């Protein structure tokens, strides 16, 4: 669990850099005003998390982020009793804490969590906006400003790890993709600290690499991956080496794919 401000009662202190690509800011704002939960869909590294961070800042709400995984239990979200000295005390989990303070709760890659865990979010995603803590006998009502946001990558989900229809239908949905080339270059210049010519070359390199998903590449290089390469370049690492360690080696261990990626990198940065 990650709290995105130093104090969970405060919203993010600085504006996270984000370039809108359509009407997602306006739609999310109205969803928040109407107390509607939101589902973000899109490939890894395309900006879903940064968008949520930006919206928390824009709306002036605290942000609680949970990176979901297959070992995540309901107790991890709700809370548990802990022994402190001679006392047994209840400690809220991130979900309960976000509910109490009226935070935006962001469940990243929600389908990675066990299905019995995701069921606990159902009463938070409809008109009830309540949470029953069986272990304490308490019913927690969402404080004003609370909003549930989930994300996942449809391209990597299998039938057994997709969201149930009963869960999907509770959310308004926003679909994300990689930015267009101009926006992606601007992001690399701002977030990676590289000059425009380098940013454009990195974007063009990614455009040549992304179709390799159809030839076995597990994931396409996302904008986040390009930012990592740009930061290494800006810090003085040679361009080709930065792309090798931040992009190629990060995407695959397959020798054939690594060779192909290496050739593309060498062609972009002779």
Q: Write out pLDDT tens, residues 144-186.
A: 999 999 998 887 655 446 777 778 889 999 999 999 999 999 9
CA torsion, ordered 75, 78, 81, 82, to nearest 10 deg: 80
Quick one: pLDDT band at residue 97, thresholds 50, 70, 90? very high
**Could you give the CA distance from residue 116 to residue 120 in angstroms, rounded to a whole number?**
8
Name residues whose C-beta falls within 8 Å of residue 33's C-beta, 6 or more positions apart in sequence: none
Closest CA relative to residue 114, chosen from 74, 75, 169: 74
Give the pLDDT score at 10. 66
- Tell me the whole-structure pTM to 2 decimals: 0.88
Q: What are phi and psi of 22, to 5 degrees?
A: -155, -130
Name residues whose C-beta falls within 8 Å of residue 87's C-beta, 6 or more positions apart in sequence: none
Give the pLDDT score at 156. 63
| Contact between residue 146 and residue 102 where contact means Cβ atoms under 8 Å apart | yes
Quick one: pLDDT band at residue 3, thresholds 50, 70, 90? very low
């Amino acid at each position: 669990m990650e709290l995105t401000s130093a104090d969970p009662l405060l919203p993010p202190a600085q504006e996270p850099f984000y370039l809108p690509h359509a009407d997602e800011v306006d739609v999310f704002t109205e969803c928040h005003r109407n107390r509607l939960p939101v589902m973000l869909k899109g490939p890894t590294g395309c900006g879903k998390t940064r968008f949520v961070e930006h919206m928390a800042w824009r709306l002036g709400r605290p942000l609680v982020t949970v990176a979901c995984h297959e070992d995540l239990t309901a107790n991890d979200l709700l809370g548990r009793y802990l022994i402190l000295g001679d006392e047994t005390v209840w400690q809220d989990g991130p979900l309960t804490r976000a509910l109490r303070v009226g935070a935006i709760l962001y469940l990243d890659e929600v389908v990675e969590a066990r299905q019995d865990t995701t069921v606990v979010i159902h009463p938070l995603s409809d008109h009830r906006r309540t949470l029953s803590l069986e272990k304490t006998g308490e019913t927690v009502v969402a404080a004003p400003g609370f909003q549930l946001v989930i994300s996942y990558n449809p391209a990597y989900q299998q039938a057994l790890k997709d969201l149930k229809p009963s869960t999907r239908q509770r959310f308004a949905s926003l679909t994300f993709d990689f930015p267009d080339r101009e926006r992606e270059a601007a992001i690399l210049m701002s977030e990676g600290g590289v000059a425009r010519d380098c940013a454009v070359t990195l974007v063009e390199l990614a455009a040549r690499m992304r179709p390799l998903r159809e030839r076995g590449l597990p994931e396409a290089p996302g904008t986040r991956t390009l930012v990592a390469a740009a930061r290494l370049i800006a810090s003085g690492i040679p361009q080709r080496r930065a792309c090798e360690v931040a992009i190629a080696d990060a995407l695959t261990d397959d020798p054939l794919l690594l060779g192909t990626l290496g050739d593309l990198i060498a062609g972009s940065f002779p």
